Amino acid sequence: MNPTRGAWRGLALALLLALGAVHGAGAAPKPTERSKQKAAAETERAALARKLANLKAEIGKTESAKEDAADTLAESEEAISDANRTLRELAAEQVQLNGKVAELAAEQLRLSATVAAQKQQLAKLLREQYVAGNEDRIKLLLSGDNPNRINRELQLMAYVSQSQARLLDSLRANLKKVEENQAEAQNAKQELDEIAEEERQQKVKLEQEKARRAATLASLSKKLATQRKEAGRMEQDAQRLDALVDKLNKLIEEQARIAAAEKARQEKLAAERAAKAKAEAEARALARAKAQAERERLAQEAKKAGKPAPKPLPVEEEPKVAAKPEPAEQRDEKSPRPSEVALAPVVADGVFAKLKGALPTPVNGKVEKRFGSKNADGVAWKGMVLKAGGGAEVRAVAAGRVVHATWLRGYGNFIIIDHGGQYWSGYGYNETLMKRAGDVVKAGEVIATVGNTGGYEESGLYFEMRHQGKPIDPAGWVKF
């Protein structure tokens, strides 16, 4: 067989294989990335939830077993909060995914244009290879020209062949990227279908829980009213919250130590990687400098001998391949699990203290109960109650980490934010908690909606602040 024709057939076969790579057999449906990530997140949330549930269980052991009518509402009030939060999260996911689908479609157009151009380039190359074969090399070898010149020309031809090989590799890579893009777009569409189904389920659940809570309230209205008037009720609730805060403080201190140790370890690893990368970069620079010096030496020798300077070697370029996303960083065995550092402070000490007197109000409403004012039993309020319409947005007064977000007797759906420096803010009676324990929030971010959970009579927000575990008057901090 003619070797020229054999080479041409080999190149043609490579091209056909490259073009066929994107048309493989359809794979069986796989779980979406969203469902896998969601499962992993739920596992970590469950681990953190167990830690916090154990804290509340320990507090419950020290109390009498006397029934509280508001406890009957706890399950439905938590379920309503969860359903509302999930619906809000799903809506945000939907917006994000629709944007991703649009980006993938635009990327597909760009990739298609690149692939089409590369196909044309390779088709032209195939025709030229077929017509010319290897005659150029044979003619050069038999020309009887200066051996040095023949060697340089053959080397140049070799670089041209390498350039052709890189073009083919680039085409293969881009075809693979087209396939990946199509799979990613299909995955995004499946995720949108998942979200639509989850939204439908959550809406059904929400309506069921609202009906359940309404029926429970109707049957317990008299009992709730009676218990609200019982002596010592508010004091017991406050003591329960004090105990929760004390135990949370200890858990947060433990997680802060773990997080600090991990940060120091990661900084050491990063420094080692940076040193290695620097050494490799210096070695590459030295190799380039030596190659340049050698080229200059050969040019000088040719000049002295009265010969033409050798042709500069082509500069190798990386194939133009569509950028691939960085792979997700894997957790090494020495790293703590997310649930072990989920409550570690994220705001440096001293930052929150500077905001005194300038914090925004958590909700627009009239102050109904003030810090230090007393109820009928002579028990002082350790926070404030702001009267506001049900469903009104409750916002974080400052940045921080959510360390508690669940139902608590006397306070309903209650959320606590750690602002660093042992400053905390708490928000109670909420209908919906928009954040979970471990979430990081910004100043002014919506964290809940106003309600009357926990047995409180009217819609409103219970708001309190603490420093080193002790209640402080919010009036000196917040611009009401």
* Axis-axis angle for helices 3-20, 69-132 (nearest 10): 160
Predicted confidence at residue 7, as pLDDT, reads 46
Q: What integer pLDDT is reported at residue 145 of this predicted model?
A: 58
pLDDT over 60 (residue 19)? no
Question: Which of 161-175, 221-235, 253-267, 448-462 is predicted least confidently?
Answer: 221-235
Percent of the chain whose predicted confidence (pLDDT) is above 70:
73
Please give the pLDDT value at position 418: 96
Residue 2 pLDDT greater than 50, yes or no: no
Query: Residue 125's CB: how many other CB atoms inside 10 A?
Result: 16
Tokens of 359: 């914090």
Lowest mean pLDDT among 3-12, 52-61, 77-86, 469-478: 3-12
In this prediction, residue 468 carries a pLDDT of 93
Q: Which of 43-52, 261-270, 334-343, 392-401 has the lowest mean pLDDT?
A: 43-52
Q: What is the dihedral of CA 419, 423, 428, 433, to 10 degrees?
A: 20
The string of pLDDT tens digits covering residues 132-151 is 554 455 555 455 555 555 55
If we measure between CA atoms, which residue out of 256, 290, 248 comes closest to residue 403?
A: 248
Question: What average pLDDT score do residues 218-228 get?
Answer: 65
Eight-class DSSP state of 352? G
Return the axis-axis angle of helices 147-228 and 3-20, rounded to nearest 10°.
10
Question: Which has more pLDDT, 60 or 200?
Answer: 200
Residue 417, SS3 per DSSP: strand
Q: Which residues of 282-321 are buried (b: 16+ CB within 10 A; e: fewer)?
A: eeeeeeeeeeeeeeeeeeeeeeeeeeeebeeeeeeeeeee
pTM of the model: 0.65
Report pLDDT for 309. Answer: 66
Mean per-residue pLDDT, 329-356: 83
pLDDT recorded at residue 151? 57
**pLDDT winner (highest mean) among 104-113, 210-219, 238-247, 348-357:** 348-357
User: Chain-wide mean pLDDT for the chain?
Assistant: 79
pLDDT for residue 66 is more than 60: no
* Both structure tokens of 250: 């200890």
d(C-alpha 387, C-alpha 462), whole Å:
9
What is the SS3 assignment for 98?
Answer: helix
Structure tokens at 67: 């029934």
Average the pLDDT over 259-267 and give the result.
Answer: 91
Residue 24 predicted with pLDDT over 50: no
Residue 155 has a pLDDT of 56
Residue 443 has, within 13 A of its CA and on its CB side, a CA count of: 12
pLDDT on residue 32: 73
Confidence band (pLDDT; 50, 70, 90) for 464?
Answer: very high
Report d(CA 2, CA 51) in Å as an integer: 76
Predicted local distance difference test score (pLDDT) of residue 65: 42
Summarize pLDDT for 170-195 with one digit per residue, the tens: 778 878 888 888 888 888 888 888 88
Identity of the residue numbered 71: D
CA 303 to CA 249: how far, in whole Å? 80
How much of the chain, in percent, has pLDDT values that exceed 90? Answer: 31
Please indicate whether residue 4 or residue 386 has the higher confidence score (pLDDT): 386
Closest CA to 295 of 152, 159, 187: 152
What length is written for the chain? 480
Question: Which residue is it, tokens 């959970």?
Answer: 453
394 close to 433: Cβ distance less than 8 angstroms: no
Residue 388 has pLDDT above 90, yes or no: yes
User: Which of the two residues, 172 and 473, has the higher pLDDT score?
Assistant: 473
Yes or no: say if 342 and 437 are a contact pair by the CB < 8 Å rule.
yes
**pLDDT band at 386; cut points 50, 70, 90:** very high
Min mean pLDDT across 173-187, 223-237, 379-393 is at: 223-237
pLDDT number for residue 160: 53
Separation of alpha carbons 261 and 229, rounded Å:
50
CA distance linking residue 182 with residue 23, whole number of Å: 11
Residue 48 has a pLDDT of: 73
Q: State how far the Cα of 409 lies from the Cα of 454, in Å rounded to an integer.
A: 6
- Chain-centroid distance of CA 39 in Å reads 14
Number of Cβ atoms within 10 Å of the Cβ of 143? 11
Write the DSSP assignment of 198-245 as a string of letters.
Answer: HHHHHHHHHHHHHHHHHHHHHHHHHHHHHHHTSTTHHHHHHHHHHHHH
Tell me the helices (H) and strands (E) count for the chain, helix number first: 7, 13
